[in-house]
Structure 1
Amino acid sequence: MLEHRRRTASRGAKAALTGAFALLTAGLLAGFSQLSPAPTEVETVADGESVQAQQTGQWLTGYWHNFSNGSTVMPLSEVPSEYNLVAVAFAENHPTLDGGITFDLASEELGGYTDQQFRDDIAAIQAEGRKVIISVGGQLGHVDVANATQARNFADTTYQLMQEYGFDGVDIDLEHGVNAQYMSDALHDLSGQAGSDLIITMAPQTIDFQSPDREYYKLASNISDILTIVNMQYYNSGSMLGCDNQVYSQGTVDFVASLACIQLEMGLSPDQVGLGLPAVQSAAGGGYMAPSQVVRALDCLEAGTNCGSFSPDTPYGTIGGVMTWSINWDATSGYAFAETLSARLAGGPGDGGSTDEPTDEPTDEPTGEPGDCASPAWSADSTYTGGDVVSHEGSEYRAEWWTRGEEPGTTGEWGVWRLVGAC
């Protein structure tokens, strides 16, 4: 779930309800089957290629938000070059055009960041070969596109924002429902106005692809001819069904790989499928995975290696990339997410993951029984980044940021290691 500055509802509670719903409907969805053969593979980006070249292969998408939510307030100029697709969050309802959108920079909340500076920073990012798009929705965003007039207004106002600010496209992150028919009409209309270079991304929740009759599922199918990438939110979800009709818990490699398989088998090409994860544990109510575990999910899908209990029948080759909520949250960890995933996307399968590293336990739904520690033993000679989990003297600890040589259990309440629990 992507946050909004006027957030009032409990995301953790919503995640629990969603997970419960998924379990209750598991029997109804048991008939869900893989719908089409896996698309052909695409070439992996070679080592050493620049960000400009990489963006034609795999995307590292990050949300930049124009509000303070306890993470970091920053101008676009501080977005690291590892992010080759920046989604500006969020556009809101147009005051007079039903279904239309508008954008407010909220300069005061950003410490006086001016509209002109914002526009200049967009141009500077694009001059490096990277892309900037406008995101619509978020946790509390309500934009209705449910009839022909609303569809036309959405397309027209989105194109106007693209012309005004220089945005390269639009991200659909409407978490309160979409109408597949009319949003499809709107996006095809927008494509006709903007041309073939238009970027269209989506950030649905996991429940949105649990059945072919879900609106986001139908929307992805309807716009597959113009769709850039679907970055599923694999967090704030609870348990869901994978493409093998088995139930998996969020926060695990199995969860991500088995649910991404649904999109990969429904007719989308691999380069239209991305993995959306929170940058740090504080960025979501549940489902956080250490960057190294996101690498494992990529390896599993692309090469069939580093899988957990689920593995694809046939590896899919290079998928579209990875998304995170958010760049601002990633800044709190020294951009550990961006550095780890950018290196993996540039290097290809196997370069960023270890075949003997265990899957992280879910952050909100532990399933393991007490016993021997499952996480790798802490080593004074190893380097750890935020989110890595280790075992030491009968307990498991999670690193809050980069560390090396600091012994778990000795760094205190405000130190780098947080106690997960005994094992």
Structure 2
Amino acid sequence: MDRSRPRLAALLTAAALAATGMTALPSAARAADADLVRNGGFEAGLDNWSCTADSGTTVTTPVRTGTSALQATPAGSDNARCTQTVAVQPDSSYTLSGWVRGSYVYLGADGTGTTDVSTWTQSAPDWQQLTTGFRTGPSTTEVTLYLHGWYGTGAYHADDVSLTGPAGGTEQPPAAPEAPPVGTVTSSSVALSWPAVAGATGYAVYRDGAKDRTVSSPSATVTGLSPDTAYTFRVTAVNRAGESPKSAAVTATTTSGTGGGTPGLPPHALVGYLHSSFANGSGYTRMADVPDSWDVIDLAFGEPTSATSGDIRFTRCPVADCPNAESDADFKAAIRAKQAAGKKVLISIGGQNGQVRLTTAAARDAFVASVSKIIDEYGLDGLDIDFEGHSLSLDADDTDFRHPTTPVIVNLVSALKSLKARYGDDFVLTMAPETFFVQMGYQYYGTGQWGGQDPRCGAYLPVIYALRDALTLLHVQDYNSGPIMGLDGQYHSMGGADFHIAMTDMLLTGFPVAGDPDEAFPPLRPDQVAIGMPASTNAGNGWVSPSEVTTALDCLTRGSDCGGYATHGTWPGLRGLMTWSINWDRYGNREFQHTFDDYFG
């Protein structure tokens, strides 16, 4: 039997029923009726939805309203069915509605206690509204709403799904939240937070009267705003029973655009990673206890649900492993306090155990959606890419860093550009590659003849090049590395100032690459570069003493104490230092922090 299309008789029957009105819709929803669908706009990813065979994800384009929509892809014998169970009242009328795109897209409800209903479209090249209705049976207390496609027809999209009617069960919608106090305001975003509401399972944020996004906690950063513009915000609380009245309104005016450059960092910055999702011998450090010296705090780590899913999750260290860990509410409050003090807090994706390979467009879109969700939930300033392991590698025929063809690189570049466009000029984007991902490209990039070398050699170069205008900081990990050839044609090894001088000189001078020797990799601006070092001997191979740190900085920023290496310039605007990690530095009596403070004042 051919399962690539529904049977003709079934299609004709459904069309005839629709034409004759046999599936009657209930009358317009009463004023007391509520929208019972939770996360019907998919602004909170797939929260409250379940899709068969991992067929669903959220995407940022196409969307009908807000910033996200559902994309579900039938495959094999799976029709990409996405469902949500909703509490209803017995013997009551309901209207089910949703907007869809694609071929053979269905919207329906099961378990009504009477006649289960569905509606569908054969072809919707643009957003099309589907609407149907039902009356529950005398003992029905819940129904299952669903969307699905059809076998062999490709992906479909859905947005703004709603079910209006009387809320089920004894649970009541929550009370209205208090007016949300305005936090950090930039040229493209406004941070909001408000006291939690009893009985709420989530919140909706309205911007100028329209629903902007839904969140699971009482805080949100509304992004994608225009500079020097006034916006009005209200919030509601939601639970299984429905949505509360709106809060009182607050107004915030975004700042003027920065016109590019590095958003909100001091001339010299100290960057560190905070172990937020795991425990090790360095001990747990609360966000509120991070000293003021740290200008950029990278939350380590957001990790993928699988290597190729693109779906990133950030889970805080459990109390069983980190007994002194603060609550989520205190953690978020401490983030806001750091931001109020001018600090930047980022989510770092990857790390040693978090391999991320965006091999498909679906993985790319899932990455954008899930990272956006983390940024919005915690009100973060941006993103750090710490792809290690085999997250990035080059196909043998990928020999031009200006026009990469390797899918994992093309998709990563596209994802980062989407995030930058979504959050605007104030979005902080940093990268922390290992040296063989960058400087080793001098010798091996794109040759196709690795000679025993790893295809990861230089694999960050096309990413850095494509994002060079959007990149806030590059802090290469000058540790856990083998010898690397510098611009002087000599190999340099970890453990002293010489290695940091040679590696940083390459970034600030530019260098030819083996795969394209006639076109040098262009230099980065000094304000885009920080030197990555381990905080202590416990933190990684390649630790250098404070005196060697000072020697490296003297050479690069003042042109003195360079030893046997002749740099190609002097860069007093070098941004600063990065270390793994804030926790290990605290364990080592904050020696690294004090070295930075003593040097830059």
TM range (shorter): 0.5 to 0.7
The one-letter code matched in structure 2 to 1:68 is A
The one-letter code matched in structure 1 to 2:459 is E
Q: Is 1:84–2:308 an aligned residue pair?
A: no
Aligned to 1:72: 283
User: Distance between the aligned counterparts of 1:249 and 1:96, measured in 2?
Assistant: 32
Aligned to 1:4: none
Contact 1:71 1:329 in 2 (8 A): yes
Q: Is 1:283–2:539 an aligned residue pair?
A: yes
Q: Is 1:215–2:459 an aligned residue pair?
A: yes
Q: Is 1:61–2:316 an aligned residue pair?
A: no
Q: Is 1:301–2:556 an aligned residue pair?
A: yes
Aligned to 2:309: 98
User: Distance between the aligned counterparts of 1:74 and 1:242, measured in 2?
Assistant: 37
Q: Aligned match of 2:577 in 322, 345, 352?
A: 322
Alignment of 1:196-345 (within 5 A): 196-209=425-438, 210-211=440-441, 213=445, 214-266=458-510, 267-284=523-540, 286-345=541-600
Check 1:251–1:94 CA distance in 2 against 1; reply closer, same or farther (3 A cut).
Answer: same
Contact 1:91 1:104 in 2 (8 A): yes
Q: What does the per-residue CA deviation read over 1:325-371, in whole Å, with 9 as the maximum and x for residues that have no partner?
A: 1110101222111111123234xxxxxxxxxxxxxxxxxxxxxxxxx
User: Distance between the aligned counterparts of 1:96 and 1:219, measured in 2?
Assistant: 19
1:54, distance to aligned residue in structure 2 (A): 8.9
Contact 2:368 2:415 in 1 (8 A): yes
Contact 1:291 1:341 in 2 (8 A): no
Q: Is 1:185–2:429 an aligned residue pair?
A: no
The one-letter code matched in structure 2 to 1:255 is F
Q: Which runs of 4+ in 1 moved over 6 A?
A: none
Q: Is 1:110–2:322 an aligned residue pair?
A: yes
* Aligned-partner SS, 1:110: coil
Contact 2:347 2:384 in 1 (8 A): yes
Greater helix share, structure number: 1
Contact 2:509 2:568 in 1 (8 A): no
TM-score, structure 1 as length reference: 0.66
User: Distance between the aligned counterparts of 1:146 and 1:227, measured in 2?
Assistant: 23
Name stretches of at least 5 consecutive residues in structure 2 with no aligned partner.
1-262, 393-407, 446-457, 511-522
Contact 1:156 1:190 in 2 (8 A): no
- Which protein has greater RCO, CA pairs closer than 8 Å, 6+ apart? 1
* Aligned-partner SS, 2:441: coil
Greater strand share, structure number: 2
Check 1:305–1:333 CA distance in 2 against 1; reply closer, same or farther (3 A cut).
Answer: same
User: Distance between the aligned counterparts of 1:96 and 1:181, measured in 2?
Assistant: 17
Q: What does the per-residue CA deviation read over 1:268-305, in whole Å, with 9 as the maximum and x for residues that have no partner?
A: 11111110111111111x21001221121122112211
* Aligned-partner SS, 1:324: strand
User: Distance between the aligned counterparts of 1:245 and 1:165, measured in 2?
Assistant: 46
1:96, distance to aligned residue in structure 2 (A): 12
Contact 1:64 1:88 in 2 (8 A): yes
Alignment of 1:119-134 (within 5 A): 119-134=332-347
- Larger Rg, first or second structure (1 or 2): 2
Name stretches of at least 5 consecutive residues in structure 1 with no aligned partner.
1-52, 347-423
* Aligned-partner SS, 2:532: strand
Q: Is 1:144–2:400 an aligned residue pair?
A: no
* Aligned-partner SS, 2:538: helix
* Aligned-partner SS, 2:368: helix
TM-score, structure 2 as length reference: 0.47
Contact 2:485 2:491 in 1 (8 A): yes
